[in-house]
Structure 1
Amino acid sequence: MPQRNSLQASIEALFFLLLWLSVLVIGEVGKDFSNCLGFFYDEIPPVTRINAAGFQPICQRYKNQYHFATLYHRQHRTPLFSAYRLSSADGKRPQPTWMYEAQLAFSHASPEMKPFSKHVDQNVVESQAVLDDYRNSSFTKGHLNPSLHQRTAENRKATFTLTNVVPQHKGSNSGPWNVLENEVLRKYKTFCEGFMYVVTGVMPYKSAEARWINNRVSVPEYMWSAYCCPAYRSDLPKSEQQFFPTYAAVGRNDPNSGEEIVPVNVKAKAAVRGYDVRRMPLETLEGILAERLAIQISLFDGNCQTKRLLVS
């Protein structure tokens, strides 16, 4: 009987996932992530049961190559998450040329992301965030896939698409969240062998009244991120063992939010006070997402429990 229940649960989960994918907007941006599965651990995207309305998978394509994957929310004009393989940058941060996803506006357009021109087509304006949304706002363009986590110049340039960006307070973007991004990069360079898979996303406000910039772009209350390092050193220092093969974090994007998810360090400097980041096990993050987003989500298949690299 337990085996039958397990099989039935698996069939139900597959049914919900197929139902979710089947009603997504169809276009070359993708009805699923089949063109860019390599950015997910074991080539399996996060298994979710999401209200499908408005969500669009995007295989982020630049210079005829796929660079990462994004699940985009059309109504919010922001991504729910971006997934990528982390690697060490071999150069400096490029001068940003901000781009948009043409196929969100025109289903038969080129699958390549396009740079914004001086005059933006109204179909583009209606389908996604544009640069004017961020001008004269109090928010920065917060990358979910940051350029410092990408190796080549083209990898890094591809992150400068507004479909990979959310409205993020400067105190978070250049403060504790930036510290976290550099910390994850150091762990990868020091302890990982092979790929580190990262999924970074957002949580909207829990209240029914969402926050917006320009009455168009949804402002997240929290940022979150998780990584999977399936092959890591066997001689990890004891202080690092809790961080492998997976770990996660949630960061505040609103200094006035409650402290039920991320406590506030009242001793922090005024410029970053209230933008704290809480580190946590992967399972804790998935539990928070299940409650806040009303979804069941598995970010890494099997919780990234595979082989690790043994070193002498």
Structure 2
Amino acid sequence: MSQKKMLRFSTGALLLLLPWFGGLVLGEISNDFSQCLDFFYNTTPPVGITAAGYQPICQRYKNQYHFASLYNRQSRSPLYSAYVLSPADGKRPRSTWMFEPQLAFSRASSEMQRFQTPLDQNVIESQAVLEDYKNSNFTKGHLNPSQHQKTVEDRKATFTLTNIVPQKAGSNSGPWNGLESEVLNRFKAFCNGSMHVITGAMPYESEPRWINNRVSVPEYMWSAYCCPSYRSDLPEFLKPFFPTYAAVGRNDRNSGEEIVPVNAKAGASVRGYDVRRMSLEALEGILKQRLGMPITLFHGQCQ
């Protein structure tokens, strides 16, 4: 090949690659959350997660970190997202869905990017894509919800599919949405300092379920918060809710009732998508039993 042709080839290849390297920081795929530890209580991520295949992601948008997610490449689904709760200062933004170039290309930008067509096959293989959710009978369920994030950029950053799990509409817009609002109101009324939240998904125990034969469907959603500084004049009935509290929600109305009982008096549209409130210790016990890992979510149990 002539030198002139080689130059044209190299220039063309570089132009094709530039969109993947558009961020200011390159290649932040790593084995830890060292770039975004502030989203965890006492800058300490959950410990005890021993299974292989999980990828820490510092969720970066508009050259800023907004939260953290632990992503499973094989199930194309996050185990959890961790964030600092801050009430939204505006309305929910229009859903502009994004993906993570860094999962597809080890030297790509760490900035989440909008989905484009056609998608590179490496992107499709490395993570969930919008096509997976079409005609799936599942909604896109946020682990870090938009309403728990303050600025427009914070809220837009939650619309990455690495923060999303397949969630039934009866849960997403029903009891689970109620839990998210409850936690937000509790923070505003009683938490004097930061509230660290970790929200995750629990897959089926015996037989995994999928959408599009690619993305793991959770049987349950779970969430826990840590608010170490709170009002000293808490009403007696609220004292069990601080400094930590947790919950597990059903994502399958046909699941057994061992973890979360069903309220038979609930409306037909939400019956079977109940949420059970519980202590942090109770949630960690369920995660240990279901995931086979002795997970500790907050350093020192948020004390």
Common fold by TM > 0.5: yes
The alpha carbon displacement at 1:96 in A equals 1.2
Q: 1:233 aligns with which of 213, 231, 234?
A: 231
- Could you say what secondary structure the match of 1:224 adopts? strand
Once the two structures are superposed, the pairs formed by residues 35-184 of structure 1 within 5 Å of their partners are: 35-52=35-52, 54-184=53-183
CA distance in 1, matches of 2:245, 2:49: 22
The alpha carbon displacement at 1:104 in A equals 0.3
The normalised TM-score by structure 2 is 0.90
Contact 1:30 1:59 in 2 (8 A): no
CA distance in 1, matches of 2:30, 2:229: 30
The alpha carbon displacement at 1:31 in A equals 1.7
- Could you say what secondary structure the match of 2:56 adopts? strand
Which deviations, in whole Å up to 9, do the C-alpha atoms of 1:19-61 show, x marking residues without a partner?
xxxxxxxx51322000000000000000114212x11000000
CA distance in 2, matches of 1:115, 1:83: 22
Which deviations, in whole Å up to 9, do the C-alpha atoms of 1:158-189 show, x marking residues without a partner?
00000000000000000000000000000000
Q: Which runs of 5+ in 2 are unaligned?
A: 1-26
- Tell me the matched-pair count: 277
The alpha carbon displacement at 1:139 in A equals 0.1
* Structural RMSD (CA): 0.7
The alpha carbon displacement at 1:124 in A equals 0.3
The normalised TM-score by structure 1 is 0.88
| Superposed structure 1 runs of 4+ greater than 4 Å apart | none
Query: Which protein is bigger by CA-based radius of gyration?
Result: 2
Which deviations, in whole Å up to 9, do the C-alpha atoms of 1:204-231 show, x marking residues without a partner?
0011x21000000000000000000011
CA distance in 1, matches of 2:243, 2:64: 29
Aligned to 2:296: 298
Aligned to 1:28: 28
CA distance in 1, matches of 2:120, 2:269: 38
The alpha carbon displacement at 1:153 in A equals 0.4
Aligned to 1:277: 275
CA distance in 2, matches of 1:49, 1:142: 23
- The letter of the residue matching 2:146 is S
Q: Which runs of 5+ in 1 are unaligned?
A: 1-26, 306-312
- The letter of the residue matching 1:226 is A
- The letter of the residue matching 2:29 is V
CA distance in 1, matches of 2:163, 2:275: 20
Q: 1:220 aligns with which of 197, 210, 218?
A: 218
Percent sequence identity is: 73
Which deviations, in whole Å up to 9, do the C-alpha atoms of 1:259-306 show, x marking residues without a partner?
00000001110100000000000000000000000001110111111x
> Is 1:252 the equivalent of 2:250?
yes
- Could you say what secondary structure the match of 1:239 adopts? helix
The alpha carbon displacement at 1:157 in A equals 0.2
CA distance in 1, matches of 2:34, 2:104: 21
- The letter of the residue matching 1:296 is P
- Could you say what secondary structure the match of 1:187 adopts? helix
